[in-house]
Amino acid sequence: MSTESVRDALSSAPPLTLDGSPILHQMFQINWKAWRQLNADTQRDVAQEASLALGALKNTAPFAMIGHKGDLMMIHFRETFDQLHQAQSQVARLRLSDFLEPTTSYVSVVELGLYDSTVKLHASATERGIAPGTPEWEKEMAEGLEISRKAMAQRLTGEIPSRRYHCFYPMDKKRDGQDNWYSLPITERKDLMIDHGKIGRKYAGAVTQIISGSIGFDNWEWGVDLFADDPLVFKKLIYEMRFDEASARYAAFGPFYLSLQFEASGLAKLMQGQTPAFTS
C-alpha cells in the first residue's frame, strides 16, 4: 500500500470506541382513567408491589417526567443485553403495567469515543511501517484499546447517578452536503471533539454526563443522559455547546426529555398525582 493510500485510509477511519453497560430507557403515559376505576385498597396494593419489585432491581431507577411526552420513565443499566431484556420483562409482568402505556423507548450502550487515542495509535503504527488492515495493525489497535479499557474501566460500568434532575436526548452527526461529519478527516474530527469536550469540562461537578452509542440499536446514533442537582444547568450547558462548531455545523438533535429521579418507594405518591421525593 502506497503512502498516499495509507494516508487516505487513516483520514476516513472511524474512531476506536470502548463499549460498556447496555442501557434501556422506557417512557410511559399513565392511563389515569383506568387507574381511577380501581378502589383505594387495590391502588395501594398495585403500587406497593411495583415499589418493592423496582426497589429490588439493581441499577434501575424511576423518574417522574415533566411535560406531555410521558408520566414515568424507567432507566435500566445492565451488564448484558440479555439482562436488559429481562429488566424489560420484569416491568411488563407488574400489575402496574396494565396502567402504563409505552410512548417510546431507547436502547444504547455506554460509549467512550477515543478520537485522540485513535490518531496517536494510527500515527505510531504508520511510522513503524504497519499497514492498515494487516494482522499486525489489528494487534496494535487491540492492545491500545485494552490499555484504554483498563484506564477507563469505572466509566464503562454505568451506574445511575444519584441526582434529582435528569435530561435525556438522542442525537446524530449530520451527513448533509458540506456538513458531513463522516467525510471529515479523523484529525479534524478529533480537534473538533477536543474543543467540544472543553465546554463539558467547565461543568464538571455540576453535571454528570453519560454518552451512549446506539448505532444499530435505535433510530439515532447516540443518547445523552445528563444528571444534576439544578435543572438550569442543562439549559446553560446545552446552550453553550450549540455555539461550538461540532454542534453548530455537525449535530442534529432529537426530542428532549426532562424528569425527576425518585426512590422506588415513592411510586405510590406518583400514582396519587403527587411529586415523589428523592434523597441523594
Return the pLDDT at 4: 56
Q: Which one of the listed residues 106, 115, 169, 250 is annotated catalytic?
A: 169
The grid cell for 273 is 398525582
Query: Which range is least confidently modeled, 86-90, 109-113, 144-148, 247-251?
Result: 144-148
Q: What value does the mean pLDDT take over residues 263-270?
A: 96
pLDDT score for 11: 73
Cβ partners under 8 Å of residue 126, min gap 6: 6, 10
The greatest distance separating any two alpha carbons of the chain, rounded to the nearest whole angstrom, comes to: 77
For residue 244, give the 3-state DSSP assignment.
coil
How many angstroms separate the first and last alpha carbons of the chain?
57
Q: Report pLDDT digits (tens) over 100-110.
A: 999 999 999 99
Whether residue 69 is predicted with pLDDT greater than 50 in this model: the reply is yes
Q: What is the pLDDT of residues 148-204, one digit of tens each?
A: 999 988 889 878 999 999 999 999 999 998 999 999 999 999 999 999 999 999 999
| pLDDT score recorded for residue 123 | 87
Q: How far is 96 from 91, CA to CA, in rounded Å?
A: 8
The confidence score (pLDDT) of residue 82 equals 98
- Stretch among 13-17, 40-44, 82-86, 179-183 having the lowest mean pLDDT: 13-17
Q: Which three cell numbers stand for residue 165?
A: 434532575
Predicted confidence at residue 85, as pLDDT, reads 98
Tell me if residue 169 is catalytic.
yes
